[in-house]
Structure 1
Amino acid sequence: MALPHQHLTPQEVSFICESELITIVPRQRLGALNLISIDTRPLVPPQRADVPLWLAVFLRKQKRCNIVPPDWLSVDYLERLVKEESDSAAFSQMPWRWMEVAEILLDTCSEDLISPSDIALHIRSLRELRQAKIRAGLSDQMNSSYIKINNLGLMEVCEIRPWVGKVVDGLRKIEGEAGSTAARRRREDIDADGDEDMDDDGY
């Protein structure tokens, strides 16, 4: 039997993201659903309702609802974020699952988005800008025993965690070996000084 891996894969992160709540506008009436993770109220057009993302995608594929994209998934909002990322060394504050949500909605309901091609372009620009910042931030902190980068999304964290963990472990090992070598040299110096003192006293 294969042993479980230590870190989440991008596929697992996307699967977890499907439990995120998103707003829909029903096209047809649908009774209340008693799901494992949530109970939905009856869906009555044109009243908006919040449902798990996987259910929204399922109903959208059946043309039984329209998905209302989150406020941040618009051309104007993303343009501002791209400018912020370009002008600042800090990371813009993004939703925890921004990459996964954007990818799923662009793939499954681009008809419900305004200018989906422009949105996809801005998402790609954000991703590239933030990846460049991640690389720069990691380079600056490689001499540290821990890595601190604020405002990363879940997918971004999962992408860098496996190899960053190995790098940090390697640095700790090197620091430990350096500390052991320094301690051994101090002991040798003390022993050498002690031998010289003993020779000076004639013993």
Structure 2
Amino acid sequence: MLMKIPKLYFLIIPILFLFVSSVTSTTYAATEDLPFLKNQNGVTQNTQNFDAFIDNATEEVNSTAPMVNTIVTTLLSIMFLVGVIKMGYALVTKTGMVLKGSTGVLIGIPIFVLTLRLFFILSFTTNKQGVTLLVIDGMNLLVRVGLFVSIGMVLIGLLMRLFHKFLNHPEYARWSKRLYIGAAWLCLLTSVMPIVIRSI
């Protein structure tokens, strides 16, 4: 009999613990608003918490953005100045590898800065309709650029043909022929392929 009493206690204690915890949790839940119920404004509790989180994150980003902008632009300016110094060194010493690296830095940094600025401007100021229009306008711009480049290739080909007539040099004839073929292919691809790809 003495051995059965502790076993009974081991059964009663977890049952009491579960009962007390369930009672306290239900009374606590009764005093709190349920998160999925709407309040008087028609907004759920989870939505309010998420909106508060987004507002706090936006304020933090806005507060740190000037410092990050200053640091990034300063580092890029330092890299650009180092590229200028390296280019001067390469021009004086006639070092091809240094000249190539400095030229890449001097070309790459302005392109990177412009791309970064355009990315942030477009990402914060455009909506879905604006993105669609931007992509379509970009495609139309590339089509028109291709057509104008093909016209320029034809004009240069005519000039090469004129040089061939005056100088009777076979290279000018070959160049003009290549330019005609390239212009025809470029005009065909830029005018037909966007329509074909969009209709697939």
Higher helix share: 2
| TM interval, short-chain normalised | 0.3 to 0.5
| Relative contact order, higher structure (CA 8 A, sep 6+) | 1
Q: TM-score, normalised by structure 1?
A: 0.32
Structure 2 length as normaliser, TM-score? 0.32
